[in-house]
């Protein structure tokens, strides 16, 4: 414990010395989330991470999250130095949508507006008309649908089909999924709900349709935390990465949170719903990158120039 306190103090000192700011996602270790908040950085969902990084005057951003978040920060601010605790922290959605195959898919459907989820590589974003995050994807597709546009959506099939059902848009879906959210189980969730009839169910839309169907609220990480805070209920079942519980408990003290069932968490695995790549962010590697200015994110400038249009469209729409 003393070691941890010393490491945190060292990180605070280094952030000052390096004139750097820490931007963290809700799924990373709670200590990193707290540090981001305490030092004037931010802890949030992917949309707010992007906006905060773009607008903050610091020349160095440390992004505690996964690779696409660091790349998005770099694309939005090519002049800034973007560091990440571990450059191998990726995402199954990003891995499941290689740029060359995606490009061929787009070529085969030139009549469609290409909308990609933030959880993709810079090269995939460069091929897109729009980038969206889970907090705003539904509104943007509804807007495009109202203009009569047909959509090509990638990569998350669950988020895509949820948006498709909600908006009625014509959407052709890439078949990717998040390895964390794909594990939530509808039948088991239904049984858990029966045990806790007073509980409200909060679900991230990367979850399978039969899990989303049982939700009281479907939304991004920030939207789910807000719901926990403001809804008139004291017990919540939460179907998203359990890293979110750190902030939920702090934001809604006295309320009770139960993790939604996954294939394994009933008997064998107490924390199945935790992203292995988000878990690669720790105090030690955060301190190291600040000390050495190592693990810098680079995006090919030409790719960045093409990708920024899709991201800017979303940020302008959200403004
Ligand atoms: P949010 O944008 O909702 O924070 O989601 C990011 C993510 O990777 C969810 O798995
Ligand atoms: Fe990707 Fe899923 Fe991890 Fe989010 S939780 S970063 S979608 S693998």
* 91-138 pLDDT tens trace: 999 999 999 999 999 999 999 999 999 999 999 999 999 999 999 999
Does 42 appear as a known binding residue?
A: no
Q: Which of 28, 36, 46 to mutate to test the pocket of ligand 1 (most atoms within 8 A of CB)?
A: 46
Burial 224-233 (b: 16+ CB within 10 A, else e): bbebbeeeee
CA distance 318 to 110: 26
Residue 272: the pLDDT is: 75
Pick the atom of ligand 2 nearest to 92's CA: 8
Query: pLDDT tier at 304 (50, 70, 90 boundaries)?
Result: very high
Q: What is the pLDDT of residue 3?
A: 92
Establish whether 106 is an annotated binding residue.
Answer: no
Average pLDDT, the chain: 96
Residue 119 Cβ contacting ligand 2 at under 6 Å: yes
* pLDDT value of position 271: 56
Task: Tell whether residue 269 is among the known ligand binding residues.
Answer: no
CA-180 nearest atom, ligand 1: 10
Domains, the chain, ordered by start = 2-91+278-298 (3.40.50.10800), 93-178 (3.40.50.10800), 181-259 (3.40.50.10800)
Q: Can you give the length of the chain in residues?
A: 319
Share of residues in the chain with pLDDT > 70 (%): 97
C-alpha–C-alpha distance, residues 24 and 64, integer Å: 5
134 is an annotated ligand-binding site residue:
yes
Q: What is the pLDDT, as a whole number, of residue 79? A: 97
Which ligand is located closest to the Cα atom of residue 25?
1
Nearest C-alpha neighbor of 121 from the set 54, 69, 64: 69
Give pLDDT tens digits for 155-177.
999 999 999 999 999 999 999 99
Across the beta sheet with 235-239, the strand order is 217-218, 200-203, 235-239, 256-259
The DSSP letter of residue 65 is: S
**CA separation for the pair 97, 124 (Å, rounded):** 8
**ipTM (interface pTM):** 0.98
Q: Provide the pLDDT for residue 243.
A: 96
pLDDT for 128: 98
Residue 39 has pLDDT above 70, yes or no: yes
- Name the residue of 23, 24, 43, 45 to mutate for ligand 1: max ligand atoms within 8 A of Cβ: 45
| Burial 168-184, CB ≥16 within 10 A → b, else e | ebebbbbebbbebbbbb
pLDDT of residue 263: 77
Distances (CA, A) of 5 to 9, 34, 52, 275, 312: 6, 12, 27, 25, 39
Average pLDDT over residues 17-43: 98
Structure tokens at 162: 């949820």
- Residue that has been written with the tokens 């190592």 in this structure: 294
CB 128 within 8 A of CB 115: yes
The annotation status of 119 as a binding-site residue, yes or no, is: yes
What stretches of 171-300 show up as alpha helix (H) in DSSP?
186-195, 209-212, 221-230, 245-251, 283-292
**pLDDT > 90? residue 76:** yes
Q: Which one of the ligands is nearest to 273 CA? A: 2
Q: Which of 72, 118, 119, 221 to mutate to test the pocket of ligand 1 (most atoms within 8 A of CB)?
A: 221
- Ligand closest to 275 (CA) is 2
CB of 278 within 6 A of ligand 2: the answer is: yes
Distance from the alpha carbon of residue 147 to the mean position of ligand 2, in angstroms: 31
pLDDT digits (tens, 9 = 90+) for 256-282: 999 999 976 555 455 579 999 999 999
């Amino acid at each position: 414990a003393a070691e941890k306190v010393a490491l945190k103090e060292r990180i605070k000192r280094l952030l000052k010395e390096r004139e750097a700011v820490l931007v963290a996602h809700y799924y990373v270790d709670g200590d990193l989330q707290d540090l981001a908040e305490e030092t004037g950085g931010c802890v949030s969902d992917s949309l707010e991470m992007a906006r905060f990084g773009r607008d903050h005057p610091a020349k160095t951003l440390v992004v505690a999250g996964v690779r696409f978040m660091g790349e998005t920060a770099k694309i939005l601010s090519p002049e800034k130095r973007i560091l990440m605790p571990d450059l191998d922290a990726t995402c199954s959605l990003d891995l499941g949508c290689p740029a060359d195959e995606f490009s061929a898919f787009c070529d085969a459907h030139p009549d469609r507006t290409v909308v990609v989820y933030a959880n993709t590589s810079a090269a995939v974003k460069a091929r897109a008309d729009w980038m969206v995050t889970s907090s705003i994807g539904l509104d943007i597709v509804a807007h495009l649908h109202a203009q009569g546009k047909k959509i090509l959506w990638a990569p998350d099939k669950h988020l895509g089909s949820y948006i498709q059902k909600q908006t009625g848009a014509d959407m052709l879906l890439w078949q990717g999924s998040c390895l964390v959210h794909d594990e939530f189980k509808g039948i088991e969730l239904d049984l858990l709900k029966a045990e806790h009839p007073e509980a409200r169910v909060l679900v991230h839309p990367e979850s399978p349709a039969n899990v989303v169907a049982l939700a009281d609220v479907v939304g991004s990480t920030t939207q789910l935390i807000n719901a926990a805070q403001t809804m008139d209920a004291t017990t919540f079942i939460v179907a998203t990465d359990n890293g979110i519980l750190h902030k939920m408990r702090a934001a809604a003290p006295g309320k009770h949170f139960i993790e939604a069932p996954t294939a394994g968490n009933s008997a064998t695995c107490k924390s199945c719903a935790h992203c292995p790549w988000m878990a690669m962010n720790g105090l030690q590697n955060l301190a190291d990158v600040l000390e050495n200015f190592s693990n810098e994110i680079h995006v090919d400038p030409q790719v960045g120039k093409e990708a920024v249009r899709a991201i800017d469209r979303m940020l302008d729409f959200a403004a």
